[in-house]
Amino acid sequence: MKPLHAAAALLIVAMWGLNFTVIRFGLDEFPPFAFATWRFVLCALPVLFVARPDISWATLAGIGGFMFGGQFVFLFFAMQAGLPPGLTSVLVQLQGPLTVVLAALFLREHATRAQWLGLAAAAVGVVLISRSVEGTASLLAVGLALLSALTWATGNLFFRSARGTSMFAVTVWASVLPPIPFALMSLAVEGPEALLMPILNPTWRGWFVLFYTVVPVMWLGYLIWGTLLRTYPAGKVGPISLLVPCAALLFASLLVDEPIGGLRLLGVVVVLGGVAIGVFASGRRLR
C-alpha cells in the first residue's frame, strides 16, 4: 500500500474509532431518535449536487434502512442503556461474521470452515462480555449492540449491489430515507422539542457532535474507504477495520475513563480474534 493510502487508512481508523466516544457525548445532548434524524438529514445534504448512483431505489432503501439507519439507532440505544463506547465498538464488529451467516442463509453462499470457526469464537467472546457486565440494563445494552451488528450485516447484503459505484454517492443518497421514520418516531416518543433541539436550544457541543459524525465519519470516511477498495483487493483493505475497535477502546479509555480488564478484556480479545479469523478467511477467498 502506498504511503499516502496507508496514512489515509490510519486516518479512517482514528476517525471511526473516536466516533464511538463522540456518539457518547452526543447522547448527552440529544435523545436517540432526534440524534439519528439530524445526523442523516445533514448527511443527505450533498444529494443537491451529487448524482444518484446507478443502483435501484430498493437497494438504496436497504442500505439506508439497515446498514445506516438500523445500525446506528440500535447503537445509540445500546449506549444510552449503559454500554460504554469502546465495548460497543467491539460488539458491532460482529457484523462481519453475521454477514457470512446471512449470505449462507439467504444467498446460498458457501462459507468456509475458517469463517464458521471465526463466528463460533466471536460468539464465545460475546458470552464472556455479557458475563462481565452487571445488571439487566447492561445485558439489554449488549442485546441492542448485537441488533446493531445484525442490521449492519443485513445492509451489507444490499450493499453488494452497489459495487463499482461511488461509495460517497451511495452514502449520501442512502441517507435520504432514514430521517423520515426517525423524525416520526422522535415526534411520537421524544416530543417536538427534542426533535427541534438543535435549532431551539443549540449548543456548541451538540453541533460539534453532529458535524463530526457527518463530515469526517460519513462523508470523508466513506470517500476514503471507497478509494481504498477501488485501489486494492478487498482482502487487503478489510483487515484495516479490525483496528477501529482498538482505536475506540483507546479513545474511550482516555476520554471517558472506560475500564477494560479481567473477563471483559478476555471477551474483547476473543471477539476480535474471531472476527479476524473470518476477515482473513474471506480475504483469501477474494484473492
119 by Cβ neighbours in 10 Å (0-12 / 13-18 / 19+) ranks as buried
pLDDT tens column, 156-192:
888 877 777 888 999 999 999 999 999 999 999 999 9
CA 95 – CA 238 distance, rounded (Å): 13
Q: Is 163 helix (H, G, I), strand (E, B) or coil?
A: coil
pLDDT tens column, 261-272:
777 788 888 888
Per-residue confidence (pLDDT) for residue 257, from 0 to 100: 87
The label of the residue with cell 445500525 reads 71
Would you state the cell numbers that stand for residue 131, as one nine-digit string? Answer: 458475563
Per-residue confidence (pLDDT) for residue 228, from 0 to 100: 82
pLDDT tens column, 38-60:
999 999 999 999 999 999 999 99
The yes-or-no verdict on residue 238 having pLDDT over 70 is no
Per-residue confidence (pLDDT) for residue 286, from 0 to 100: 46
> Which of 160, 165, 169, 180 shows the shortest CA–CA distance to 286?
160
The yes-or-no verdict on residue 283 having pLDDT over 60 is no
Q: Is 107 helix (H, G, I), strand (E, B) or coil?
A: coil
CA 17 – CA 78 distance, rounded (Å): 17
- Residue 215 carries which side chain, given as an amino acid letter? V
The yes-or-no verdict on residue 219 having pLDDT over 60 is yes
Instruction: Share the mean pLDDT of the chain.
Output: 86
pTM of the model as a whole: 0.87
pLDDT tens column, 77-133:
999 998 999 889 888 888 878 887 888 887 777 767 777 787 788 888 777 777 766
Per-residue confidence (pLDDT) for residue 271, from 0 to 100: 81
- Give the ranges where 107-242 is alpha helix by DSSP (H): 113-132, 135-159, 167-174, 179-185, 192-195, 197-200, 204-214, 221-231, 234-237
Per-residue confidence (pLDDT) for residue 192, from 0 to 100: 95
Per-residue confidence (pLDDT) for residue 276, from 0 to 100: 78
Residue extents of the structural domains in the chain: 3-286
Per-residue confidence (pLDDT) for residue 285, from 0 to 100: 52
The yes-or-no verdict on residue 233 having pLDDT over 80 is no
With beta carbons less than 8 A apart as the criterion, state whether 24 and 85 touch: yes
- Residue 128 carries which side chain, given as an amino acid letter? L
